[in-house]
A and B are shown apart, each in its own frame.
Chain A
Amino acid sequence: MQRIGVFVCWCGSNIAATVDVKAVAEAAKGQPGVVFATDYQYMCSESGQTILKDAIKEYGLTGVVICSCSPRMHEATFRKAAESAGLNPYMVEIANIREQCSWIHKDMEVATEKAIILAKAAIAKVQLNKPLVAGESEVVKRALVIGGGIAGIQTALDIAEAGYKVDIVEKQPTIGGKMAQLDKTFPTLDCAACILTPKMVDVAAHENVTIYSYSEVVDVKGFVGNFTVQIKKKPRYINENLCTGCGACTEKCPMKKQPNEFNMGFDKRGAIYIPFAQAVPKLPVIDADACLMLKNGKCGLCSKICEAHAIDYTQKEEIIEERYGAIVVATGFNQIKPTQFEEYAYNTCPDVVTSLEYERLMNAAGPTKGHLQRPSDGQRPKTIVFIQCVGSRGDSCREKSYCSKICCMYTAKHAMLTKDHYPDTDIHVFYIDIRTPGKNFDEFYRRAVEQYGVDYIKGMVGKVYEENGKVMVQGSDLIDNKQITIAADMVVLASAVEPDPSARSLGTMLTASMDTNDFFTEAHAKLRPVESPTAGVFLSGMCQGPKDIPETVSQAGAAAVKVIGLLAKDKLKNNPCVAACNQSVCNGCSQCANVCPYGAITYVEKEIRTPEVREVRRVAEVNEAVCQGCGACTVTCPSSAMDLKGFTNRQIMAEVDAICR
């Protein structure tokens, strides 16, 4: 019989306001094995932990139950405290009477009853707990950053600067991401290229950084400190070692009608192309869907013109396997194409553009060399209407539920930059709310209104249609309580941002959790904002939620620090709650090995001796360093040979029995 101590936490009023904590402690006292029970205002505080430590010593406790918040919050805290008092940390169990009880109930009587039941279940479990000892595993001193936008670049640079090797995997032919497409950046209006391209060069030149451009992560195995990742290098059809990046090939290509993705399709590129002048690596890539030589073996002009003999039409995709200690997700975002919003006429009217498209039309390096021309006829637009919150903040299937966060600011930026270039332009902005919570942000927006005379209209646009060469915008002006129609030359839609579509499959590969919008979830919204709940996986930039450049860069640095903290360790303590096989009942069916996501189960021929049998049999063996304790094998095993330490079948059943008693 264990000697169990039960500690009921008030969590200030979080628990105590809904659960009668004294009654829970009283009820616990009557349970088998319980030799001590008490309640305290904040168990996690210094003095709360002292109560725990003192009780362990005074009563010779062999097991502890803390009735408090979720184990995800403070299990580690209490285990550490118990360990310092000489108790095996895995003899501590948490009964979650906050998230799963006090926070979701209003009636004190009901909540107290439930809290007592949860406490009883935990007591029943701890009766069967066994001391567990954590093993150790080595840390591979190399980090992987997935995504080469500003988030990935900054994270990689910071990790590399600390002296660790880091690889960037970027699916596009160049790093730089969305920021490379931007004109100027709020709130200080420095040009994106001027601040980004030096960083691109720095990261590429850094001795600790390897860039896999035009590559994708296709498989991830392993666990924190020791991931094995397969990277697919797509064929560029260019020999990277020979190519000088002169660009002669791109000029001779006869297939010059391909929409240029970098300029949002406003101009054309060849089948062989360099995405933009400052691309890193500065290597061309052949678009296999457009290249005549690759499609039907006729042409080969680029190969003939290339003095370096760098064109290689026979290049095949390549799989690279590398081991990493930590993985940073920096997959970024896309701006949605508002094709489902027929009321804004994006599909039918060429002069209705998204803000990212407008960004290219304004950019000195863009398709119009920075001269603002409307797409339909190349005329300079005199009246421009900006529409905010297109596809954001809604609750129908067309819209995203969240605020895209960056649109208010970049629209103010667009308005001011346009007015700077062409002061006679009339600019109207339809908005629902203006959200500018950032340093110097509101001042920036007010400047658009007060100094530049941009007309901000509180209200939303209901309909956009073409009439006599104008784009008519009908919307409401809620302050004047009027419906108004503006004859515009151009309409710019601040359409919502969404996570890059590659994020979903990557999340599955990494077993990193995501929210319903496919943004990666952080381990704790406030206290662990750059870590995924999956150990060893970190988050940087927009993949975690909408954010602007300053925020992205700070988060990127924070993620790097977490990675450095991990890589600085030589060994990591493993989770001892791993699967174990009772080989005397294992029948060697392989079902556990098939469901194991970590490849932790192997089969061995082994002599089995029991009072009944003595034979050589094929049985399962668990590699404890690889097992992550997910428990998939234990529920799959048809003969109950697999069990999870710390969560054995007997322990779970004892909990269920205690609840039902």
Chain B
Amino acid sequence: MKYTDQGQKDTRSGFGDGMTELGRTNPKVVALCADLIGSLKLETFIEEHPERFFQVGIAEANMIGIAAGLTIGGKIPFTTTFANFSTGRVYDQIRQSVAYSGKNVKICASHAGITLGEDGATHQILEDIGLMKMLPGMTVINPCDYNQTKAATLAIAEHDGPVYLRFGRPKVANFTPIDQTFTIGKALHLLEGTDVTIAATGHLVWEALIAAEALKEKGISAEVINIHTIKPLDEEAIVHSVEKTGCLVSAEEHNYLGGLGESIARTLAMHKPAPQEFIATKDTFGESGTPDQLMEKYQLNAPAIVEAAQKVIKRKA
């Protein structure tokens, strides 16, 4: 395989290490947390810059509002908590005080998706991409591994405007370059192929690469695209790929309503109508279990992608 796992790591640690670096390099960056410092890996940032950290307690609405206020005076606030409490719980605060007000707030959300695992559905938000991408002016990013999450964390500090950065809890393959440049809105072609496009985001990118290997053994040439930025979507990369392959599988750890798949479907409908299959949760809540068990049960893994690819190829006219 072209890509190798450099060692399993959690994407949230990529965020935490990114924050450590930002703490040292960008004095405008400040961090806020709603009682989840350890989960968000903020210990080093706080230790090195206690005056630039704001512990708000279990009060997420206030955290978003304070972050919006901190931008006035030139700070670049990063709010941190679990994805569920970063989005659904505070949607109106984000809508009015951040997005509509055009504030330079970075909403950084760990424990996104079903791989949160044993805590169950109350914490496994599968609707956050949809909630955030619907807000005008909001950038939505879901990096795939530790290295990319760290690079994305650094990149969003340089971007002027509100950002939703989504990452996760489990240790997963770390396979992208350690020194990568992260360009917001620019999809990455990981594998060239001719029979089917697999457009994946977040934890599903590694699964897509494994699926491509399995498809290769079946004589199927799969193109794999890493869509780390769901909004603004790299429509050109998707259309260009589907012009070649004629069909697409989208893959994400999110509900198929409102997620990456729907954004891609809209793009294809507008520019290059083609069959598409969706690897995503099918309008359901999650449940307790290990991440691997849940990915299997909810059909969010490489075997599910292989099956979807074979199916979508058959649908080509």
Are A and B physically bound partners?
Answer: no
Q: Which residues of A contact B (CB under 8 A)?
A: none
